Structure 1
Amino acid sequence: MTGCCPGETGPDADAAFRPGWRLVLWTALALNVAMFAIEIGAGLAAGSASLRADALDFLGDAANYGISLGVAGMALSWRARAALVKGITMFGFGLWVLASTAWLATTGNIPHAGIMSGIAILALATNAGVAVMLSRFRGGDANMRSVWICSRNDALGNLAVLLAAFGVFATSTFWPDFVVALVMGTLAIVGGGQVIRQAIGELRHHRTPRELVSRA
């Protein structure tokens, strides 16, 4: 996944208490669970590596939204720990996508471009809507920022899947689908690394007195 937006701001300790944060997370959670079910079935039916990768991304994001709901309103140190878990998950997801895409490439099957394009458009509309809802929270702490990064990058990933569908249709080969899946895996690794770095930075600067004493 792509990196953080330019002009990164410092952590906002009160951001998790802003009105609408929980409602937006619940809405995003429901939409991501629904899209996972739709896209995993379509990915299997179409034989598309990029659709399957995107479906698992929806599942991972749903889990991340659930974690964010669980720590919303807690101390910054706990929100940073949640962000660290999510960053590690994003990183692991990227590694899995790269490995599974390489394995699927050995079959040489050509995906169904029509299914790919239709589902990609639906997924793009879903992620774009979620990203718009979350945009006003993107300047908060690492936990809130990681949610924004996931949604923004997912919309970019959907555009890439749509381009892959056009490429498969134009070339009658599996290579466009293969390349897009590899890019999505790489972006997940990059995005996960950025979330991990910010979360670790917040944990270092916001230790509790007990944690500071234990290190003395």
Structure 2
Amino acid sequence: MDCDCGADPSAALERRTLWMVLVINSVMFVVELAFGLRADSSGLIADSLDMLADAGVYGISLGAVSRSLKRQRRAAQLSGRLQILLAIWVLLEVLRRSVLGLEPMSAVMMGIGALALLANLLCLVLVRRHRNGGVHMRASVIFSTNDTLANLGVIVAGLLVAWTGSPIPDLLIGTAISLLVLNGGLRILREARASRP
């Protein structure tokens, strides 16, 4: 039997937290993607796809709440693989944009990057309450931490684009975000393996 329903008194709180961060990430995915396309920003598009991956991961984690360790481990593994696939997709998008030579709009990058930073700081505060929980919740802490770093990178890249007039900082942050997401996915897979009894 896979369900440990009722065994974990914090399950309802975990579920509520995961729903909240799922909604925040879904909304920010739409906002960042729309403005990233409008601003021709690899950094914003990369970060929006990271938000989409996180929303998917939080949905997967919701299915693991109050479940056996085996089910939580499977959810974490699926989450890690999703992050890795998204990282590869973002790298290809950055490459495509570098070939096209698109010019990003720095003001939009900084403004939306700051909004995303606030959203991810809220997510981080919410999920850190569960950092000692199951592997599926520890994975959520990794995502939110990575996201705040990525948002700071987008803001800095926006400043550098404005200062230099070059799209290179935007392409670099898009690449850096995808590598950060890739590393997060690999870390989650390692944690899932380490959680085996």
TM-score range, shorter chain: over 0.9
| Compared CA separation, residues 15 and 86, structure 1 to 2 (3 A) | farther
Q: TM-score, with normalisation over the residues of structure 2?
A: 0.92
Give the percent of matched residue pairs that are identical in Structure 1 and Structure 2.
35
Give the Cα–Cα distance (whole angstroms) in 1 for the partners of residues 87 and 9 of structure 2.
28
Gaps of 5+ in 2: 1-6
| Structure (1 or 2) with the larger CA radius of gyration | 1
- CA apart distance, 1:156: 0.8
Q: 1:84 aligns with which of 67, 77, 80?
A: 77
1:142 maps onto 2:138 in alignment = no
- CA apart distance, 1:29: 0.9
In structure 2, the residue matched to 1:57 is: 50
The code of the aligned residue for 2:169 comes to: P
In structure 1, the residue matched to 2:181 is: 188
Give the Cα–Cα distance (whole angstroms) in 2 for the partners of residues 78 and 116 of structure 1.
39
| Compared CA separation, residues 191 and 68, structure 1 to 2 (3 A) | same
CA root-mean-square deviation: 1.4
1:74 maps onto 2:67 in alignment = yes
Q: 2:95 aligns with which of 83, 102, 105?
A: 102
- CA apart distance, 1:140: 2.2
Q: 1:168 aligns with which of 161, 169, 179?
A: 161
Give the Cα–Cα distance (whole angstroms) in 2 for the partners of residues 88 and 166 of structure 1.
33
- CA apart distance, 1:63: 1.0
> Is the 8 Å Cα contact of residues 16 and 73 (structure 1) preserved in structure 2?
no
| Compared CA separation, residues 106 and 16, structure 1 to 2 (3 A) | farther
Q: TM-score, with normalisation over the residues of structure 1?
A: 0.85
Question: Which protein, 1 or 2, shows the higher relative CO under an 8 Å CA cutoff with sep ≥ 6?
Answer: 1
